[in-house]
Amino acid sequence: MLRPEDTEVEFVRIVRSAHLNAYGTLYGGWMMRWIVDAASSVAMNLARGPVVVGYVDDLHFLSPIHPGELVVYKARAEYTSKRTVAVSVEVWGEDPEKGIRNPSTFAMLAYVSIDRDGRPRDLPIRIEGSEFGRKFYEEVKERVSDRHERVNYVDVNGYEPVLSTIVREEHLINANIMYAGYLLYLLDEVGSITALRYAKGPAVTACLDRLAFYAPMHKGELVRFYSKVTKVWNTSMEISIKTLVENPSGVRHTTTSYMVFVGMGERGPRRLPPMEGGDPLADRRREERMKILRRIRWRMSGTTTVLESHGSREPK
């Protein structure tokens, strides 16, 4: 049976001016799209066929990546169930002149193996998963246990419409389904627009979590994005984004996620306008993010030079 390290793949991208945000560093939408590229290759290798993303979590931005630097993605399968693959992605920013890599981003994704018609099918290859991957899988399974009911949660009361798009041929990956990498790119755009409006200035992506897919998005369908600011702290804000899909048969709820953005000034993070009230559960989600962030920093706290290995360690 394969071990997680046997499934590892590495992708390298170069950051160009077209990939930058308003602050002059790599735009979060591109980062997330490339994360899905790397993770999908691992999941598809184990599935020996098409897969779809079912859940994205623990996606934290640790440090920015600048123009001319390389982005190194190290993805590997952490756990497999009968039809699901849990994949971790470590992202490193590499300075080609100095030959040094620094930890930049981390993410966990859960994939479902499907056939050519989009129906779930068993994985032909299983791995001897890590304890880290097993815990992630169990958390995901619990959080999406009511996914069939959530498809009908189409109420967007309190949310503002931000973006609409038609799923076209160039957005597809397989089985006539929108590619999750493109969806994450759009989610970051929606979150960035909402953050920019509230902050009245530049804001950068800090993390994305709890992105659950309740229904696929097919070619020709109308996708509508709604968002709202749920909580503002000192220099950061949490934004909830809800995605609905519409076709002649009706409307269905396809995703809900939470993103955190940091307001930026000329010298770094800047204080945001205060917000009264907010979601009472936002502080609890923030505490959970801080715990996850500490674990991620530990995992990626190995060496930084290109020539040395980047071993993963878990805190005891």
What element of type H or E holds 276? none
According to the model, what pLDDT value does residue 206 have?
97
State the virtual CA torsion across 128, 134, 138, 139 in degrees, nearest 10.
Answer: -150
Cβ neighbours around 248 below 10 Å, total: 6
- Write down the residue that tokens 């890599």 correspond to: 101
Rounded to an integer, what distance in angstroms lies between the CA atom of residue 89 and that of residue 78?
Answer: 10
According to the model, what pLDDT value does residue 304 have?
53
Structure tokens of 78? Answer: 């952490």
Rounded to an integer, what distance in angstroms lies between the CA atom of residue 202 and that of residue 189?
Answer: 13
Residues of the chain with pLDDT under 70: 302-316
Q: Which CATH architecture has domain 4-299?
A: Roll (3.10)
Rounded to an integer, what distance in angstroms lies between the CA atom of residue 179 and that of residue 105?
Answer: 21
pTM of the full predicted structure?
0.92
Q: Which amino acid is at 207?
A: C
* Residues in contact with 33: Cβ distance below 8 Å, sequence separation at least 6, in sequence order: 181, 182, 184, 185
**For the chain, what percent of residues have pLDDT higher than 90?**
87
What are the structural domain ranges in the chain? 4-299
According to the model, what pLDDT value does residue 308 have?
45
Q: What is the DSSP letter of 23?
A: T
- Write down the residue that tokens 């693959």 correspond to: 85
| pLDDT (tens digit per residue) in 68-94 | 999 999 999 999 999 999 999 999 999
According to the model, what pLDDT value does residue 302 have?
66
According to the model, what pLDDT value does residue 267 have?
86
CA distance to 144, 202, 229, 271, 310, per residue, from 109 (Å) = 13, 28, 25, 32, 20
